[in-house]
Amino acid sequence: MGGVLAFQLYDWHYFFAELMNGLTLGSLYALIALGYTMVYGVLKLLNFAHGDVFMIGCYIGWFVLTGLGGVLAPRVPLVPLLLLMFAAAMVGCGALNVAIERFAYRPLRNAPRIAPLITAIGVSFFIEQTAVLLWGANPRQYDFFELRNGTLFNPPAFTIGNLSVQYAQIFVITSAVFLMFALALFVSRTRTGKAMRAVSFDREAASMMGIDIDRVIMVTFLLGGVLAGAAGVMWGIVQSSFNPYTGFGVGLKAFTAAVVGGIGNIGGAMLGGILIGLAETFTAGYLTSTFQDLVVFSLLVAFMLIRPTGLRGAPVLQKV
């Protein structure tokens, strides 16, 4: 066993491939983590259902794709097809997230924190089971590998010696980074962004300064949903399949990514997502793929126990 490990370590091609996979996966986690971190920052609420919003994004993309002929006989060229899928998923998931906030969380705005958390679990459950009810529990795939005879994946976009990168991976990683920067700009430059930060510091004071709390919270959820929808379509493109329960595990990991990076911190969410994506991929690639979840979850538990404020978070001072 040790010998195989040593050999694999010298297999740079494999290493780099795993690295790219990890970065891609991590970018997806990062996009979803952004939604968690924003909502937690503004409401101090863990939106358990966010992972399932992401899952719905996968399905919306699938419906658009299939509606336009599917991968094997698309009626629309690639770029508009992608745009349509993304647009539909982002709009749909944004709306869904807003609806969840409006109907499930708003009545509990002032309740002790256990209440909205349990409601969130209920909502998550409800969305998962509705998906099973409407669409069945069988996994679905985009089969993007078939698109144009797999040219999104092979031959690779560019190759340096032994190391190669796929178009799809470049696309996912750069889109994620782009969206993160857009979000960061929005939060730091626009009025609504400043309002979001104010609300996350002190909701009552913000409302007394004339900020429309309901609207700010709605925008937060909207943005989170939009990002989750984008992540959903991207998942369909680069991952093998999804089913109604995909959102559960992904959501857990993405929330932990947000915690790892420092909850409420946008750059931190990106960092955390990448780290977890890498950890997961390398564990599966080098250590054990059967127990990959066990290892990753154990690492996450250890992290949360040792440093719950995250890598870039500030410790919260409690006024006694």
Strand partners, 242: 140
Among 78, 133, 185, 209, binds other proteins (CB under 8 A): 133
User: Shortest gap between Cβ of 227 and other proteins (angstroms)?
Assistant: 20
Spell out, one character per residue from 208 to 247, where the chain touches other proteins: x when CB under 8 A holds, - when not. Answer: ----------------------------------------
d(CA 105, CA 6): 51
Q: Which of residues 104-123 bind other proteins (CB under 8 A)?
A: 104, 107-108, 110-119, 121-123
Nearer to other proteins, 90 or 300 (CB): 300
How far is 308 from 317, CA to CA, in rounded Å?
Answer: 14
**Residues 295-314, interacting with other proteins (CB under 8 A):** 295, 297-298, 300-301, 304-305, 308
Q: Which of 34, 46, 55, 234 binds other proteins (CB under 8 A)?
A: 46
Q: Residue 249: enclosing H or E segment and its boundaries?
A: helix 246-261
**Range in contact with other proteins (rule: CB under 8 A) among 81-89, 168-176, 178-186, 293-301:** 293-301
Which of 143/293 has CB closer to other proteins? 293
Determine the interface stretch with other proteins among 38-46, 150-158, 170-178, 180-188 (rule: CB under 8 A). 38-46
Distances (CA, A) of 21 to 160, 168, 179, 223: 17, 11, 19, 26
CB of 43 to other proteins, least distance (A): 11
How would you classify residue 104: left for phi > 0, otherwise alpha for psi between -120 and 50, otherwise beta?
alpha
- Residue 133 Cβ, how far from other proteins at the closest point, in Å? 5
Residue that the structure tokens 């920052």 belong to: 41
Q: Which stretch binds other proteins (CB under 8 A): 17-25, 85-93, 152-160, 254-262?
A: 254-262
Q: How far is the CB of 153 from other proteins (least distance, A)?
A: 28
Instruction: Identify the burial level of 42 via C-beta atoms within 10 angstroms of its C-beta, where 0-12 means exposed, 13-18 middle and 19 or more buried.
Output: buried
CA 65 to chain CA mean position, Å: 21
Cα separation, 91 vs 88, in Å, equals: 5
Provide, rounded to whole angstroms, the least separation between the CB of residue 230 and other proteins. 23
**CB 290 to other proteins: min, Å:** 5
Whole-number Å distance between alpha carbons of 266 and 301:
21
DSSP codes, 80-97: HHHHHHHHHHHHHHHHHH
CA 206-195-91 angle, to 5 degrees, is 130
For other proteins, the closer CB: 29 or 145: 29
Element (H or E) spanning 303, and its range? helix 292-306
- The reply on whether position 72 binds other proteins by CB under 8 A is no
Binding site for other proteins (CB under 8 A): 1-2, 5, 40, 45-46, 99, 103-104, 107-108, 110-119, 121-126, 128-130, 132-136, 248-249, 252, 255-256, 259, 286-288, 290-291, 293-295, 297-298, 300-301, 304-305, 308, 317-318, 320
